[in-house]
Amino acid sequence: MLLANTSTLDAATLQFAADVRAGLDRPGQKELPSKYFYDAVGSSLFEAISVMPEYGLTRADERVLRGHSRDLARLVPTPLLICELGSGSGKKTRWILEALREKECISYYPIEISASALASCERELGQVDGITILGIEREYLDGLREVAARRAQGAHLLVLFLGSTIGNFDSGADRRFLESVRQTLIPGDCLLLGADLVKPLDQLLAAYDDPAGVTAAFNLNMLARINRELDADFNLRQFEHVARFNGSTSSIEMHLRSKKPQTVTIPRAEFMVQLREGETIWTESSHKYSVAELKILAAASGFECKEQWIDQEWQFAESLFMAI
């Protein structure tokens, strides 16, 4: 088997190699962590997904924020430090910042592991008057702790976790993550959580398997990324995108199905993987919540659900949780 000189790889690539190896070496269902979708190509493909007619999630998120930012501003205590976990381009946050700047002195801290996403967020929101922006290039919880440490006496935090990224956590990991967020907060601090809701099956399947093949390209880019960064020899034409609904977990699952028996070499992970015809690699789960489930999640992680705003066109909820 081909071995690469891995001693020259940076820490991020070594971690990527270790995670790829662990996921593909699993007995039973092989898997790859969905966080690795978002390299430069994957992030652009996700931007394209978000404007596809079949994928209403991002537009629904924006509609609710546009329609209810003033209601939100009335409910949160000030002075305020706003931290956004995974801000992306920051486009939909504009409504919130504009509604809140009419209150007291506001600071906005987008938290992102991608320097380029932070830069475009600072460009997008830099011109909102009366708001100080400071991008933090860290993992979500590390970044949040850093912001919490900066709070002045009497100031409150509003944490934004939008776009239903919470739905991409493994089952049970959503509650554990919210508990960790809660531990960095004090009573009265708030969390605005965007979550996609259960909806008819045909609508969900079309959203995750659009006829133009953009979501398929997004999914397959995971293998292309492994080829680029770990020198692997995945033949993308020998895999197909699969989206299916798992009723027992209320999640859309995305997989990559091997069209034939094949062996793939991943030199920088010092690993070789064999796939059977029809065998799948599980790449993502996207949980679809119910309104009641979100209230239970709030209570289970130390929050009170103060308000919920629902988009009726796409069934998407923005929930305002207050730390108790």
Give contact residues for ligand AVI (rule: CB under 6 A): 49, 57, 163-165, 167-168, 208, 215, 284, 286
| DSSP three-state, residue 111 | strand
Least distance (Å) from ligand AVI to the CB of residue 34? 7
**Closer residue to ligand AVI in complex, CB, 86/267:** 86
**Closer residue to ligand AVI in complex, CB, 236/272:** 236
Q: How far is CA 233 from CA 2, 17, 114, 181, 319, in A?
A: 11, 14, 26, 40, 44
**Closer residue to ligand AVI in complex, CB, 48/291:** 48
Least distance (Å) from ligand AVI to the CB of residue 174? 12
Q: How far is CA 106 from CA 80, 91, 273, in A?
A: 5, 18, 51
* 108: amino acid identity, one letter: Y
As a whole number of angstroms, the distance between CA 197 and CA 167 comes to 10
Least distance (Å) from ligand AVI to the CB of residue 88? 9
Max CA pair span of the chain: 63
Tell me which residue has its CB nearest to ligand AVI: 286
Q: Which of 287, 78, 258 is nearest to 194 (CA)?
A: 287
**Closer residue to ligand AVI in complex, CB, 134/205:** 205
**Closer residue to ligand AVI in complex, CB, 184/215:** 215
Least distance (Å) from ligand AVI to the CB of residue 207? 7
* 77: amino acid identity, one letter: P
Q: Which of 127, 123, 77, 133 is nearest to 100 (CA)?
A: 77
Least distance (Å) from ligand AVI to the CB of residue 165? 5
**Closer residue to ligand AVI in complex, CB, 160/264:** 160
Least distance (Å) from ligand AVI to the CB of residue 260? 25
**What is the crossing angle of helices 93-100 and 57-75, to 10°?**
10
